[in-house]
């Protein structure tokens, strides 16, 4: 990706900050890192190719691994990229098929469960992947109450629970960096975001179209936005924005 220094992209970046609010009253910061990551582009599902940085959807998944209930919804505001963007090519063994949902339901009714068996050695496929190495991000986000929230639910209560769990390293399941085999280390972050170590050509990038999230209320349709990295910061537009 080529760097940019023109007024058009800088203006877009500043407008996004104003739309999101420079300071969130109920925001959190979580630092996540790991030796490898793969945030697969949807157009390259077979031979996996990662986005340059973590997607908002993957970032939300990490927050939900730490704390989530039907009463709240996480919204990603900004993603800070702290380390240089580096890629690595490798080959991995994967299984070619999944156990059909109908077979699982059939077994749950007390029927024959032998069809649930899947022998990886008989269905192994070797696929190439271009992944990220040595990643480090700070995720800024805020939570909102959903229609499932009770009268006793408050944003402050859930943010306190999130902060306590993040400080202790607690999670409902191990968060990952795109795929399950690439685990994510996380810590609650307080104070200013660390200065990034991006080289000059990576500080300002036009990342192109990026997956924002999946709209489950509309037939699992994919939502995309035009991603712009400005001085190491990716500002994420709201789902209601005209940019999505």
Q: How crowded is residue 99: how many other Cβ atoms within 10 Å of its Cβ?
A: 13
CA terminus-to-terminus distance, the chain: 21
Per-residue pLDDT of the chain (244 residues; tens, 9 = 90+): 444 455 555 555 544 444 443 334 468 999 999 999 999 998 877 788 999 999 999 999 999 999 999 999 999 999 999 999 999 998 878 787 788 888 888 888 877 777 777 777 778 888 889 999 999 999 999 999 999 988 888 999 999 999 999 999 999 999 999 998 899 999 999 989 999 999 999 999 999 999 998 877 776 788 899 999 999 999 999 888 878 7
The enclosing H or E element of 226 equals: strand 221-230
Cα–Cα distance between 27 and 148 in angstroms, integer? 21
Where does residue 163 fall: left (phi above 0), alpha (psi -120 to 50 degrees), or beta otherwise? alpha
pTM score, two decimals? 0.80
Q: List, in order of start, the domains of the chain with CATH numbers.
A: 7-89+131-235 (3.30.70.2660)
Contacts of 106 (CB under 8 A, 6+ apart): 112, 115
Q: State the pairing for strand pair 176-177/179-183.
A: antiparallel
CA distances 179 to 108, 185, 220, Å, are: 28, 14, 20
């Amino acid at each position: 990706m080529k760097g940019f220094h023109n007024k058009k992209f800088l203006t877009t970046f500043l407008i996004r900050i104003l739309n999101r609010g420079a300071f969130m009253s109920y925001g959190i910061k979580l630092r996540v890192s790991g030796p490898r990551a793969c945030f697969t582009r949807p157009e390259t599902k077979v031979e996996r190719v990662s986005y340059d940085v973590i997607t908002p959807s993957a970032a939300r998944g990490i927050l939900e691994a730490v704390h989530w209930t039907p009463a709240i919804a996480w919204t990603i505001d900004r993603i800070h990229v702290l380390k240089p963007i580096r890629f690595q090519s490798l080959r991995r063994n994967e299984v070619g098929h999944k156990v059909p949902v109908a077979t699982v339901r059939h077994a749950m009714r007390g029927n024959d469960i032998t069809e649930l068996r899947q022998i990886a050695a008989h269905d192994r496929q070797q696929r190439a992947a271009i992944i990220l190495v040595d990643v480090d991000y700070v995720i800024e986000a805020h939570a909102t109450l959903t229609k499932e929230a009770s009268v006793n639910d408050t944003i402050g209560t859930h943010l306190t629970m999130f902060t306590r769990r993040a400080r202790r390293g607690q999670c409902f399941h191990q968060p990952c960096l795109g795929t399950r085999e690439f685990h994510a280390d996380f810590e609650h972050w307080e104070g200013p975001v660390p200065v990034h170590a991006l080289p000059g050509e990576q500080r300002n990038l036009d990342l192109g179209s990026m997956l924002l999230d999946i709209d489950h209320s509309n037939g699992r349709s994919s939502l995309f936005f035009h991603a712009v990295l400005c001085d190491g910061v990716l500002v994420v537009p709201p789902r209601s924005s005209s940019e999505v």
